[in-house]
Amino acid sequence: MTTLSIRPETVRFGGALRGGDDATTLFESAPEAQLLLDPYADSVLAANAAARRLLGFAAERMPQLTASRLLGAGLDQLVVFTQAVLEKGEGWTDRLYYRDNQGELLRLECHAVRVMSPQGVAVLASVRDMRRQRGLREYADANEFMNRGLSEWRRVERLFAEIEQENRLILQAAGEGIYGVDTSGATTFVNPAAARMLGYGADELVGRNMHSLLHHTHTDGTHYPVGQCPIYAAFKDGVVHQVEDEVFWRKDGSAFPVEYTSTPIRKSGELVGAVVVFRDISERLETDRRLHRALEELGQLKRRLELENAYLQEQIDEDHNHQEIVGRSGALRQTIYQIEMVAPTDAAVLITGESGTGKELIARAIHQSSRRAERPLIRVNCAAVPRELFESEFFGHDKGAFTGALRNRAGRFELADGGTLFLDEVGEIPLELQSKLLRVLQEGQFERVGSERTQTTDVRIIAATNRDLAKDVSHGRFREDLYFRLNVFPVASVPLRDRPEDIPLLAAHFLRGACRRFARDEMRLSAADAARLQAYDWPGNVRELENAIERAVIISRNGQLRLDLPHSQLARSSTPSSGLRPATHLMTEHERKQRDRAMIVDALKACGGKVSGPGGAAELLGLKPTTLASRIKRWGIAVED
């Protein structure tokens, strides 16, 4: 490759190379017009004084000129020529055109070589005015003919034939599709790249009407009238037409997207046709589409993460006092055992129980013990969602889907993807929405309100209710198939009155938290306080107990806890108690043994008759295996049953 000897510190200013070395001086003062072009950036790196005189522009205009604008009257020839120079290292042509300031079209002869400039690979071109060259050649040819005779004249003819053949080779080597048409629309020539892209042989195209062959139909399949064809317009109005969003049709009937330039061809000043340079842009468009999809998915992921963060922040801001399950009763141990069994699976769980028994706490314990613990637990209080907004709450909506939908919004199923969705008060879901909920549970697919795009989701469902769903099914208020889909693994949240031994532990737990929140000195429950709490029926369960402890802390004085409980419900027994005993039911020894025996039977049932070892009844009850075996034998419990 030829190296242009110009120092790196040489700079382009006003189109002339400024520098202190001999090469720069020779370039500027050379008698022939010379241009230094960057074909990749479509820029004129430099033009010497002779080039500026020939092409008729001042040095100050150089920063605004590009190679395609400077020689735009013959853009197709410029493209083919520069490609040939870059590939072969050198080239010559007399088919470049330049329109001067008076609008006259000048034909240029150009000899160019591939060089290295400080900016990288470039083309150094010497250009001459063909009119002046023709006169000089005619004068020289006449003298030569006179001097050397007819044999030398024939040698000159052969030289021009070789040059024409070289131009044909350049046309064939071009990577873009190139073909010419005359003023009737018939094809005059086709290069191999065009024939290959169109699926025709060159002989099948030459002489045929190109519009009817490959440009007859729009992208959507509608007819493309000849009168609207930019290719034909070039040889009618004499203007270069560039198009970036059309299709050409192949011989097999398939279409491919193209961008093309149709450049008019003149002969003796008359429009005689056009040359078309086109490029298949399928790969570029597919890349653009993939990039657009990737950006869209990235935007959706960003919005989803923002929504998840906002949701999780709301959850953190809520006052969750149940940081752990507190208690040691047999009923609570049974619940914990069920949590440990179902948590590692993806089975749907239906938690039943009265209000305030800690159903959400059980749901959180299942989620945190599952493989989905790193993903969010998304809660939906079905009793608090307006009937008309259920579908939007579950599945989200697109902007404009209904009045007030001012932006796209992700639904709870979308936010819970990969995690757990907790449907609290699931019995409140409207009957007409239950079928859509069932479809998501069965197929893992849904559509946002106002959108036709189906989305997939992977969520684990935990539902909770204080209603008798089986009765709702029999009365037609709840779908039977949805009930069975949710009730794969039922867990009962035991009311507080059925586990009185947990009340003192829970009360002490709530008391410590309330003292911290209200900045009170630490207080303790007395035995009398514990007895009063155990004597109460707690219709509001754990939530009511927590509220009662907080109220007691607020009204306490001098570090003395003051319990404020409804007196009418304190006694569990209708038998009046003496003034020496607290108002509670004290079990006899026989009643205590019966209670303990019943607990052992329940534990053995839950463990399938397993007494000791991991998951056995002894572990569930917190007893030594030998102690449990002794009690089983003493009370005559048949383990095999």
Phi-psi category of residue 586: left, alpha or beta, with phi > 0 → left and psi -120 to 50 → alpha: beta
Q: Pairing relation of β-strands 16-18 and 33-38?
A: unpaired
pLDDT band for 474, please (50, 70, 90 cuts): very high
Contacts of residue 46, defined as CB under 8 A and 6 or more positions apart, other chains included, come to 12, 15, 16, 17, 27, 35, 36
pLDDT at 103: 74
pLDDT tens digits along 28-79: 888 899 999 888 888 888 889 898 888 887 777 777 778 887 776 778 888 8
Lowest mean pLDDT among 10-14, 200-204, 455-459: 10-14
* Neighbour-count burial of 85, counting CB atoms closer than 10 A to its CB (0-12 exposed, 13-18 middle, 19+ buried): buried
**DSSP per residue, 590-606:** HHHHHHHHHHHHHHHHH
The yes-or-no verdict on residue 519 having pLDDT over 90 is no
pLDDT band for 165, please (50, 70, 90 cuts): low
Residue with the larger pLDDT of the pair 636 and 370: 370
Mean pLDDT value across the chain: 79
pLDDT at 7: 38
pLDDT tens digits along 79-95: 888 999 999 999 998 88
Asked whether the CA dihedral 631, 633, 635, 641 is positive or negative, the reply is positive
Q: Are 259 and 281 in contact (CB under 8 A)?
A: yes
Residue 489, helix vs strand vs coil: strand
pLDDT at 101: 73
pLDDT at 320: 40
pLDDT tens digits along 541-590: 888 898 999 988 988 887 788 888 875 344 443 333 333 334 344 566 67
Q: Say how many CA atoms lie within 13 Å of 368 toward its Cβ.
A: 10
Which two structure tokens, joined as six digits, stand for 42? Answer: 């479509």
For residue 587, what is the DSSP state? P
Question: What integer is the mean pLDDT of 209-223?
Answer: 83
User: In angstroms, rounded to a whole number, what is the distance separating the alpha carbons of residues 513 and 609?
Assistant: 39
User: In angstroms, rounded to a whole number, what is the distance separating the alpha carbons of residues 496 and 548?
Assistant: 14
pLDDT band for 147, please (50, 70, 90 cuts): low
Which pTM was predicted? 0.44
pLDDT at 322: 35
